[in-house]
Amino acid sequence: MATIGLLRLPDVYNRLHATTKCDTLGAGLVLLSLALQSEAAVAIRLALLIIFILITNPTAAHVIARSAYVTGIRPLIDRGETDD
């Protein structure tokens, strides 16, 4: 789904949103399934890793989006372009 969003969505902000959501959810679910199948000590480490990913992925996406905005890349709606 992230690849489809990356290829089909119109601007950097929409593309970033699609890929970040899929990346965070995918990694979180894989780590959760590993935590459910492992011993307690490993499950605790995996739970901490899930929390780390849930914090860092959106933060990194925000930094990328902010740097794109600061460098002059405006969202599609701000440029006056529509699909009409």
**25: in domain:** yes
pLDDT at residue 82 greater than cutoff 90: no
Give the per-residue pLDDT at 33.
97
Measured distance CA(21)–CA(7) in Å, rounded:
15
Asked whether the beta carbons of 24 and 57 are under 8 A apart, the reply is yes
Q: What is the pLDDT of residues 49-78, one digit of tens each?
A: 999 999 999 999 999 999 999 999 888 876
End-to-end CA distance of the chain: 25
Q: Please indicate, yes or no, if residue 34 is contained in any of the structural domains.
A: yes
Is the pTM of the predicted complex or chain greater than 0.75? yes
Tell whether 83 is covered by a domain. no
Mean pLDDT of the chain: 90
Q: Is residue 3 part of a domain?
A: no
User: Residue 2: pLDDT band by 50, 70, 90 thresholds?
Assistant: confident
What's the number of domains the chain is made of?
Answer: 1
Which run of H or E residues covers position 9?
A: none
In a domain, 57, yes or no: yes
4 lies in some domain: no
Predicted confidence (pLDDT) at residue 25 exceeds the cutoff of 80: yes
Q: Is 49 exposed, middle or buried, given 0-12, 13-18 or 19+ CB atoms closer than 10 A?
A: middle
When pLDDT is cut at 50, 70 and 90, the band that residue 44 belongs to is very high
Domain around 56: 10-75
CA–chain centroid gap for 56, Å, is 9
Residue 80 lies in a domain: no
- 15/25 Cα distance (integer angstroms): 16
